[in-house]
Amino acid sequence: MKNFGKTVFSFCVMLLMTHYSYSQEISLPYDYPVKPGTDEWKKLQNQDEMIEVCQIPETILKNLSTEALAKTCLNYPLYPQITAYNNVQSGFDKFANNFNGFAELINRSDAGLVLLQKYRSMDPSSYPREWSSVKKGQFIYEYLFIEMLLAQDKIIAKLSSDRKIELAKECLKKYEGKVIEKDLFGLVGLSHTSYVMLKTLNMEDDKDYKSLHGKDEKVKAFQETANVIDIETLSKIREVTMSYINKQ
């Protein structure tokens, strides 16, 4: 009888420890078990199977710190396919519907702050000039990924007004950095940064932004799609963003 009691007690302790371990915040990003380029990935038959193997187990998803979750989303194996859709925003929307990591991150109250902190640490000129074209392409995509996350309404809405101003300022810094590195980023990189600016001004309901948005059809279309636009329109968005910051 004593042995039975000890067994029950040990089992209960084990259950409690298991529950306790799952309830602890996870500070490291999720390591996707199947990655592009591996034999396992090559065996996947279609897009649905790729989406399925990339899902984060719920016991891990809910316990990832927001910083770890953000890194996990930025490493999403299918993220490079965002440019395969009719427009970049619809590509992101598709991902957000299909990947539980994006859905979770967008609903985190501190997601915007965590992404802003990560964005601040990035420097458009911080890449070795001897890198291969593949590595340079990956470097460009890093900016596309985080800027598309930062441009989402639900992310921006959770930032305070002061943080929105900080985001706009950071976008201007990135914009100028990309201008210097125009041979690498080109209009594509400038467009993605400008998209974050435009979405931020929209959320702040800025008067100059509303005037520009109401008169310029290119700006209206850009706000819906995030597709690449001409330098003249990008310059208008930059000027309106500078005006918004100077008024604060």
For residue 207, what pLDDT is reported? 86
pLDDT digits (tens, 9 = 90+) for 64-81: 999 999 999 999 999 999
Q: For residues 160 and 113, is the Cβ–Cβ distance under 8 A?
A: no
For residue 4, what pLDDT is reported? 44
Tokens of 118: 């990560």
User: Angle, to 10 degrees, between the axis of helix 66-74 and the axis of helix 111-120?
Assistant: 60
Q: Where does residue 228 fall: left (phi above 0), alpha (psi -120 to 50 degrees), or beta otherwise?
A: beta
Q: For residues 158 and 169, is the Cβ–Cβ distance under 8 A?
A: no
Number of alpha helices (DSSP H) and beta strands (DSSP E) in the chain: 15, 0
How high is the mean pLDDT in each 10-residue block of the chain (248 residues)? 45 42 80 94 94 96 97 95 90 92 95 97 95 95 96 95 96 98 96 96 87 91 93 96 91
**Amino acid letter for position 142:** E
For residue 8, what pLDDT is reported? 42
- Report d(CA 6, CA 143) in Å as an integer: 56
Rg of the chain in Å (alpha carbons):
22
Q: For residues 51 and 101, is the Cβ–Cβ distance under 8 A?
A: no
- Please report, to the nearest 10 degrees, the dihedral formed by the alpha carbons of residues 222, 71, 68, 226 taken in order: 0
Phi, psi of 26, rounded to the nearest 5 degrees: -100, 120
**Amino acid letter for position 44:** L
Q: What is the pTM of this model?
A: 0.87
- Report d(CA 119, CA 163) in Å as an integer: 13
- Report d(CA 237, CA 151) in Å as an integer: 14
> Quick one: DSSP state of residue 178?
H
- What does each C-alpha distance from 20 to 11, 13, 245 come to in angstroms? 14, 10, 46
For residue 23, what pLDDT is reported? 61
